[in-house]
A and B are shown apart, each in its own frame.
Chain A
């Protein structure tokens, strides 16, 4: 899966914020607040990747076991899909 074009992500204060730009800003009003892991996964899915690849990336980046990483990655992918953030 891959996040569609038209979002930017930036650190503001101690959170990571995603906002729409260009054409998307006319239809999607609002912003998304992400924590550290959320920001990592958001950036990871801006390129085409599978959930399995995200699990491996999380395990490599953070000191987490595969089970925990899978829960996070699957949950994140579900949120992305549910909100139509996927291409």
Chain B
């Protein structure tokens, strides 16, 4: 079947029903038009993933491998996978990044609770697209264990790396610092053409999207801190009735 993911027509050759259901909301209404790429998985890749994630169903394992197959093919189409939680606020997307356990989902939850007009575009594995000097974040069916996200896209207006701390503070990061940190959150393809394309995209990303380091706790003050710096607007909390 053909799905529309990150603005591309993606043919997914899955053997298990898991992915068909998983990607249901992204199914293309036009199955007759050609696909931009085909996602498929070899037995060796399945075996490797099974060993890395023991105890999961074959459908689940195949589903992970299929997304990897997609993401390794798209850099030459100006797109790549970024491991991040993307919040969309008033039409603009902000990426929150950090190693597992640094509080991406906690900080995401705080924004949802305190900031008006905020939605999660993708809670874990969005695809970024570069187009005419700007980056856009795309929702995809693969959106993390909380399953937060929707089918849509928004211009990426900031990167925010998280670190746990007792006092909330946010600072602008240098280009050098940003590139070394962002590298750890990107899936590098294997073939030369796509590796080079990924590196070129990362170069453009760190040059064109502002990046910040947020040291934060889990209070409302942490949200005020990141909101004001990322959006450039004064923080005004949501009406209490929604709490």
Main secondary structure of the interface of B (DSSP, over half): helix
Residues of B within 8 A of A11 (CB): 203
**Is A56 interfacial (CB-CB < 8 Å)?**
no
Which A positions have Cβ atoms within 8 angstroms of B? 8, 10-15, 17, 19, 21-22, 25-26, 31, 33
Contact A33 B190 (CB under 8 A): no
Q: Which residues, 153 to 175 on B, are CB-close (under 8 Å) to A? A: 174-175
In the complex with contacts A17-B199, A31-B183, A12-B206 CB distance below 8 A: yes
Contact B199 A14 (CB under 8 A): no
Range of interface residues on B (Cβ < 8 Å): 10 to 19
B33 to chain A, nearest CB (A): 32
In the complex with contacts A10-B200, A21-B190, A22-B190, A15-B176 CB distance below 8 A: yes
**Is B195 interfacial (CB-CB < 8 Å)?**
yes
Contact B176 A13 (CB under 8 A): yes
User: Closest residue to A24 on the B side, CB-wise?
Assistant: B190
A74 to chain B, nearest CB (A): 26
Residues of A within 8 A of B179 (CB): 12-15, 17
**Is B202 interfacial (CB-CB < 8 Å)?**
yes
